[in-house]
Structure 1
Amino acid sequence: MIRLSDEELETLLDDTESDRAERKESFKGDVPKKARQAVCAFANDLPNYNLPGILFIGTKDNGEPSYLDITDQLLRSLADMKTDGNILPLPVLSVEKRTLKGAEMAVVTVMPSDMPPVKYDGRIWIRTGPRRAIANEQDERILNEKRRYKNIPFDIYPIPSAQITDLSRIIFENEYLPAAFAADVLEANNRTYEERLASCKMIVSPDETTPTVLGLLSIGKTPQDFLSGAYVQFLRIDGIELADPVIDEEDIGGTLVEMLRRTEEKLSAHNRTMIDIVSSPTHNKELAYPPAAIQQILYNAALHRTYESTNSPARVYWFNDRIEIISPGGPYGNVTIENFGSSGITDYRNPNIADVLKTFGFIQAFGRGIATARKLMQENGNPDLEFQTTSSAVVCVLKGKS
């Protein structure tokens, strides 16, 4: 992450025609929306500066201070732009309070994305001189081409043995596109099928139509033919040991959406209601586990697991006293064995899969799954989550009520 000096920031403030800077007097009214558009445009870096773009909060259009009070709440609101799920893939940005030209300002530094195009609210925003604009077909082609020369994550690696015919056009056009892009963008779309797939990272490029890992997992007809470990193994065990009798089992494959929905159905079928006739005059119906807590951990397993060089599935083992959800691959990036589960510490092995899960509605915001699950378990009267973390796997244990 690049941190510009005060002199460099003041130079951008003084250059009112810069396409690397956006200035706002406050963070009220429609500014949060425009600020996200600016972050999206800086992340796309259409001019290919390979330098950060800067959003200044607390300065007038001419670069002079507006003397805004830079509070902790304002800084938190700016930081939320990174993880609220409206800008996809997730941008790389930092938020600071800086003293420039003798006044405090909030400075948001946005790094160019390795995975363009980046979207905000279903639209691809770019910088055209000092202004923001929505990308046209040629702009998207340039952004797609930039991606091919970056150090990309595994979830958008090409799978050479797959062909474009292994992707479902029906799912892509009828389910994914309407969820991913604003209606007016789709109506004005003159792009070819291949160009649209490439823009969504489902294939390498319009000219190189090899499907990516993301494409096969999102809209593939038979994803497990190419990614053999990309499924969920479910076991319902009548006991508390793995060697005890198995009363229900299923290997659940298909696309990410199909896999998660079918697994949720299986979990729901086994989450039996308990009747409490003691603690109150009326009968209280309680579930053994809060469904949303199990969902959060399941989604985390699908999102954060490794899909590279493994035949191991994600595993959901339901015992009589607990549920174990096992995700192949240990912690990634900023998340380590030592700080796993700590508040505010997140990283993404599969940032583009995160985009798809958000698009299909499985994730509303990022970095809050474990905290949400913990809160729901507590409210339902269950013990706290337990994690067993190694370099090759993460096991989450949800314990039943005692």
Structure 2
Amino acid sequence: MLDEELSEIVANLRVLGGDISDVEVKQSQRELPKTIRETLSAFANTHGGVLILGLSESTTFSATGVRDASKLSNDLASLCSTDMEPALRPLIRVHDFEGVKIIVAEVPELDPAQRPCFYKGAGMTKGSFVRVGDGDRRLSSYEVQIMLSSRGQPREDEQAISGTGLQLLDPIALESFIARLRTNRPHAFADLDRDHLLRRARILVAGHDGTENLSLAALLALGSYPQEYFPQLMISFVHYPSVTGQPSATGTRFLDNLTVEGPIPIMVRDALAVIRRNMSRRAVIGGAGREDVWEYPETALREAVVNALVHRDLSSAARGTQIQIEMYPDRLTIRSPGGLFGPVTIDNLTDEGISSARNATLMRMLEDVPLPGETRTVCENRGSGIRAMVSALRAAGMSPPQFDDRVSSFTVTIPNHALLNEEVVRWIESLGEEGFSGSQCIALAMLRNREILDNRSYRSATGVDSRVATAELGDLVARELVTQTGSRRWAQYELSQRGHRPPSGEAPASTRSDRRPQLLDALGDETLSRAELARSTGLTDQTVRRWLSIMRDEGTVELIGSSPRSSTARYRRTRQGSLFSPAEPG
């Protein structure tokens, strides 16, 4: 890590006022703190991170330094090598920072095939941690098992279910499945007799005693009633009357409460039916004006339900946990046992070409099992279901789904609001600004709904690339509608005080935000750089840059010397600028 990068990290910590998910600070002047093993394990088991020794979080991250940097660095390297399993090899460097020496260790993320990383002295179960927010949390024994199973391809869906046979399958669904295999995959199945086809498709598998039984995948995909053997492999649906899940003022605990059972295709159909039954309609503003639509788009709901059913953990430890669908007035939450599998992470979940199946055999079956009453199959969107969900919400003018991966569970939350409804459109118009892009309008609406916004969530909500997202967010900051906390990959955005101002009978927002008089007064008869103008006026660099561009175009200031992108560029008032009247906002 370069000194400049360290300075940026510390500056962000001081602005944010606390540790962040991939940076941990410890005040350790003479010896390594005992909790350092927990942090090393947590970083290695999550997404990696930066460990800094010699800063004090209790005093706003002041640089307290370490006494013997060389010894402490060697102790840290030795601990990583001998006390952690598998051994860690972080990049450790001593930095001279604000007059003291501090130690920075960049801990890499472990490949899933090597997890969990744990402290040997505590053992795998008690010594394995994961990073949650800005803290380290010990993994449960179940979560350790999940990580161990992710070292290879899980085979729970191919497990033989003792005492089962073809009589437990829906005969119509089975015959339809066989016919589709022969038609769609002729090379593998067209010339096989029925018994060999069922074995190759993993409908029938050999048990421990050598007898043939149904596989768990076959029971879930084609069975008449899988819950006879696994009662909790079902969906529970609850509709709460309040956003907190507490009873209403009249004492009503649930508006609806249902158990959804059957094979996966039936559960998809019935889960969607009960969600529809509990949905209402709302008005959204589009190109053709006002339109009444359902609260949640069908495609987003279907993909979220299918994703939960197909990717849930089927190991014995998780078979007592059902999928939970919870509807609140402001959101719909779908939670399934088992976190993300393989190379898929929250950050790349919506990227094209990133896909990994925990239950590969089950997914392959469901590619040839249609949804009841439809021609489409359950896993028609294999590898692109999450993208289809996000696209459907975007097309409906809604916020993107929120994903939460907790190793032992995966949760999808879909906020229940149209971003650009009549009230929000009036609010955006009241800001008195022109030239917003469609994606900027969506971002403003998200911020008004108090959602967290960064470059990644901006891209997810709008579909623009990272370069456009950076430019458009910068423009909102320059317009003083949005304030930025942190920088680069730690940057987060929220509405400014001006952005929070509701529509009223006051002067137009454009008059209140006109910075031309302020900049012209600062220039006076001098020639100043952009940085000097920012210091003189107290405005951000983005705001100064924006208004100087406007003023150059209208002829009230002129550029002296190099390109306006250069830090050495200087500006001075023109004759027209000397005559400028603030009563004429542009």
Report TM bin, short chain.
0.5 to 0.7
RMSD, aligned α-carbons: 3.0
Among 326, 333, 345, the alignment partner of 1:324 is 333
Matched letter for residue 217 of structure 1: L
- 2:183 maps to 182
Are residue 376 (structure 1) and residue 392 (structure 2) matched?
yes
Sort the Cα spacing of 1:248 and 1:203 in 2 relative to 1 into closer, same or farther, 3 A. Answer: same
Q: Is residue 218–residue 362 contact of structure 2 (8 Å, CA) maintained in 1? A: no
- 1:396 maps to 412
Sort the Cα spacing of 1:395 and 1:190 in 2 relative to 1 into closer, same or farther, 3 A. Answer: closer
Q: Aligned partners of 1:373 and 1:275: how far apart in 2?
A: 21
Bigger radius of gyration among the two:
2
Q: Is residue 201–residue 365 contact of structure 2 (8 Å, CA) maintained in 1? A: no
Shift of residue 200 of structure 1?
Answer: 1.8
Name which of structure 1's ranges 383-392 and 158-167 shifts more when overlaid on structure 2.
Answer: 158-167
Are residue 250 (structure 1) and residue 258 (structure 2) matched?
yes
Q: Aligned partners of 1:364 and 1:177: how far apart in 2?
A: 17
Sort the Cα spacing of 1:327 and 1:251 in 2 relative to 1 into closer, same or farther, 3 A. Answer: same
- 2:197 maps to 196
- 2:160 maps to 158
- 1:293 maps to 300
Q: Is residue 202–residue 215 contact of structure 1 (8 Å, CA) maintained in 2? A: yes
Q: Aligned partners of 2:346 and 2:277: how far apart in 1?
A: 33
Name which of structure 1's ranges 200-209 and 352-361 shifts more when overlaid on structure 2.
Answer: 200-209
Q: Aligned partners of 1:151 and 1:281: how far apart in 2?
A: 49
Q: Aligned partners of 1:387 and 1:286: how far apart in 2?
A: 24
Are residue 353 (structure 1) and residue 362 (structure 2) matched?
yes
**Quick check: which one's helix share is greater?**
2
Sort the Cα spacing of 1:209 and 1:169 in 2 relative to 1 into closer, same or farther, 3 A. Answer: farther
Alpha-carbon deviations, 1:99-147, whole Å to 9, x = none? Answer: xxxxxxxxxxxxxxxxxxxxxxxxxxxxxxxxxxxxxxxxxxxxxxxxx
State how 1:137-176 maps to structure 2 within 5 Å.
Answer: 153-173=155-175, 175-176=176-177
SS in 1 for 2:232: coil
Shift of residue 195 of structure 1?
Answer: 2.8
Q: Aligned partners of 1:352 and 1:262: how far apart in 2?
A: 23
State how 1:1-400 maps to structure 2 within 5 Å.
Answer: 153-173=155-175, 175-182=176-183, 191-192=193-194, 194-204=195-205, 208-244=211-247, 245-275=253-283, 284-309=291-316, 310=318, 311-336=320-345, 340-359=349-368, 360=370, 361-400=377-416
Alpha-carbon deviations, 1:211-242, whole Å to 9, x = none? Answer: 11011112222211222321111111111123
Matched letter for residue 240 of structure 1: V
Matched letter for residue 222 of structure 2: I
Shift of residue 353 of structure 1?
Answer: 1.7
Q: Aligned partners of 2:415 and 2:333: how far apart in 1?
A: 9
Q: Is residue 218–residue 256 contact of structure 1 (8 Å, CA) maintained in 2? A: yes
TM-score, normalised by the number of residues in structure 2: 0.39
Name which of structure 1's ranges 254-263 and 357-366 shifts more when overlaid on structure 2.
Answer: 357-366
TM-score, normalised by the number of residues in structure 1: 0.56
Q: Is residue 164–residue 209 contact of structure 1 (8 Å, CA) maintained in 2? A: no
Q: Aligned partners of 2:215 and 2:275: how far apart in 1?
A: 30
Q: Is residue 221–residue 366 contact of structure 2 (8 Å, CA) maintained in 1? A: no
SS in 2 for 1:318: strand
- 2:124 maps to none
SS in 1 for 2:363: helix
Q: Is residue 154–residue 358 contact of structure 2 (8 Å, CA) maintained in 1? A: no
SS in 1 for 2:177: helix
Matched letter for residue 179 of structure 1: R
Sort the Cα spacing of 1:280 and 1:343 in 2 relative to 1 into closer, same or farther, 3 A. Answer: closer
Bigger RCO (CA 8 Å, 6+ sep): 1
Matched letter for residue 271 of structure 1: M
SS in 1 for 2:213: coil
Shift of residue 341 of structure 1?
Answer: 4.8
SS in 1 for 2:333: strand
How many residue pairs match? The answer is 250
SS in 2 for 1:234: strand
Q: Which runs of 5+ in 1 are unaligned?
A: 1-149
Q: Aligned partners of 2:185 and 2:307: how far apart in 1?
A: 32
Sort the Cα spacing of 1:338 and 1:235 in 2 relative to 1 into closer, same or farther, 3 A. Answer: same
SS in 1 for 2:231: coil
Sort the Cα spacing of 1:300 and 1:187 in 2 relative to 1 into closer, same or farther, 3 A. Answer: closer
Q: Aligned partners of 1:397 and 1:184: how far apart in 2?
A: 36
Shift of residue 367 of structure 1?
Answer: 2.0
Matched letter for residue 382 of structure 1: M
Q: Aligned partners of 2:355 and 2:219: how far apart in 1?
A: 26
Shift of residue 268 of structure 1?
Answer: 2.1
Sort the Cα spacing of 1:380 and 1:236 in 2 relative to 1 into closer, same or farther, 3 A. Answer: same
Q: Aligned partners of 1:280 and 1:342: how far apart in 2?
A: 29
SS in 2 for 1:395: strand
Q: Which runs of 5+ in 2 are unaligned?
A: 1-151, 248-252, 371-376, 419-586
Shift of residue 196 of structure 1?
Answer: 3.0
Percent identity over the alignment is 20
Q: Aligned partners of 2:297 and 2:243: how far apart in 1?
A: 20
Sort the Cα spacing of 1:184 and 1:379 in 2 relative to 1 into closer, same or farther, 3 A. Answer: closer
